[in-house]
Amino acid sequence: VEPEVDLYALVSGIAEEGAARDEPVACLLVDEAQFLEESQVDDLLELAVRASIPVLAYGIRTDFRTHSFPGSRRLLEVAHSLEELKTICRCGRKAMFNGRKVGERFVFDGAQVAIDGVEVAYESLCPSCYLEAGGVLPYRAARNARR
Name the residue among 51, 59, 55 with its Cα closest to residue 80.
55
Name the residue among 17, 14, 86 with its Cα closest to residue 43.
14
Query: Is 32 labeled as catalytic in the residue annotation?
Result: yes
Cα 65 to Cα 130: distance, rounded to the nearest angstrom: 10
Active-site residue identified among 16, 17, 32, 77: 32
What is the chain's percent helix, strand, coil content, to nearest 5?
35, 20, 45
Cα 137 to Cα 111: distance, rounded to the nearest angstrom: 17
Helices 7-20 and 38-50 pack at an angle, to 10 degrees, of: 30
- Residues known to be catalytic: 32
